[in-house]
Amino acid sequence: MAATTVGLLLDRIIANFSTEKASLWTSIMLGLMVLIMLACLISWQRTCTGGLPEPPFSKGWPLIGETIHFAFLENTADFVRRRVERHGGLFRANLFLKNQVMVVKPDLLKLMLTDPQRLLKSNLPSFAQMLLGKDAVTALHGKAHSTMYALFMRSMSTRFHENWIAGFDEVIKRTVDSWKGRTMNCYGEGSKLFANTAFVYMFGTFNSDNELAQKLTQWNREIRRGLMSLGLYIPGTGYIQGLKARKNIDQFLEERVEVLLKQREGGLKRQFPSSLEFLLDSYRAEAGREMNPNDKNSIIGVRNFFIPIFDQIEVAGILFAWIMKYLSDFPDILQKVKAEQDEIAISKNGPDYKLTPEDLEKMKYSYQMDGPGSSSTNKVQSDSTYKRRVSCTDV
């Protein structure tokens, strides 16, 4: 009886072992078939690309690529700059578990932004798209991008700036007069000065203590913080504050556009020319009609047109403090700046003169002080502007 039981047990063990062995071999064969199919698919995909050369890239670590290096840099623009020096204006990078192609060539950037064949689409996260709006500059392409570019170039025309430079000069004089008899913080006053001049540039009005300019600056900061947050719909988070700030800016711009349109209908002229008024003229020329304050998409376009200006306020404060420090360390340069300013004043028949672009070109030392600041500001703006797209087809 015992021998029979042991025999049956051995037969069952052998049968189970054979079943497990067969299952193992079946799994191995299925795995090999999947690998062969993947290899064929990859080979077919490469054949369909027509043998196009792939952009150069640095592999980095397995799987994570260069994510750690990118994430811990104080200035992410350095990451791009180093790879441009190594690979040129078109290269690949493995960031955040995704292979990405980075473009910094002007001609390819133009192709990416205009995208006449609709090869690309915006790849912004959904929370960022909701915060910026569907017509945000970072998502524009095709005809919408061409229209915004045309509006921007119109507002940057020499004719507009020749009319506006007198208003800029007036803002500077009023602000400097408010500094007399008190100790000032160069960075804080420089940021405030730029905020006030930006407000006059955009809306054509000025107050010595421009609270609206400060509010716009603060709202813009909250939007930027919201973009850097996790996008959580929880009260008190940076993302919720960013959404509120965006609504505040949109409401403010709706009111400004409506007031400006009413003033234009009544023939009322403003204290200074404004880029908003010039932008409305450009919009009418491009769209063939006046802008409607209730047209949310148009307001979003106006907001995205102005936001980069307020992005530079902190930079302007730093540059202003640097210029003040430079002039205090080199008083002879300060005397030369004063001398050429007085020379222009004499040629204009008195201290109450209005500067022109030609006058600035004549002032050698003032022009040299202005040049590095302008180029630094432009560099910061260009380095901080990233456009994200994902290809709809093989590009």
Residue 74 pLDDT grade (very low, low, confident, very high; cuts 50, 70, 90): low
- Per-residue pLDDT, 138: 58
- Per-residue pLDDT, 78: 76
Fold classified for 150-331+368-383: Cytochrome p450 (1.10.630)
Mean pLDDT value across residues 359-386? 51
**Average pLDDT for the chain:** 70
Q: Does residue 195 contact residue 310 with C-beta atoms inside 8 Å?
A: yes
Q: Can you give the pTM of this predicted structure?
A: 0.55
pLDDT of 116 strictly over 60: yes
- Per-residue pLDDT, 242: 86
Q: Which range has the top average pLDDT, 42-51, 229-238, 260-269, 384-393?
A: 229-238
pLDDT of 245 strictly over 80: yes
**Range scoring the smallest mean pLDDT among 52-56, 115-119, 223-227, 324-328:** 115-119
**Range scoring the smallest mean pLDDT among 198-207, 213-222, 241-250:** 198-207
Higher pLDDT, 294 or 183: 183
pLDDT of 10 strictly over 50: no
- Per-residue pLDDT, 153: 66
pLDDT, tens digit (0-9, with 9 covering 90-100), for 130-152:
777 666 655 666 666 666 666 66
pLDDT of 204 strictly over 50: yes
Kindly report the backbone phi and psi dihedral angles of residue 57, in degrees, each rounded to the nearest multiple of 5, phi listed first: -160, 165
> Radius of gyration over alpha carbons of the chain, in Å?
31
Which residues neighbour 353 within 8 Å (Cβ) at sequence distance 6 or greater? Answer: 344, 345
pLDDT of 36 strictly over 80: no
Percent of the chain having pLDDT more than 90? 0
Q: Does residue 203 contact residue 256 with C-beta atoms inside 8 Å?
A: yes
Q: Coil, strand, or helix at residue 102?
A: strand
CA distances for 6 relative to 10, 18, 87, 213, 331, angstroms: 6, 18, 72, 93, 107
pLDDT of 277 strictly over 70: yes
Distance CA 244, CA 194 (A): 24
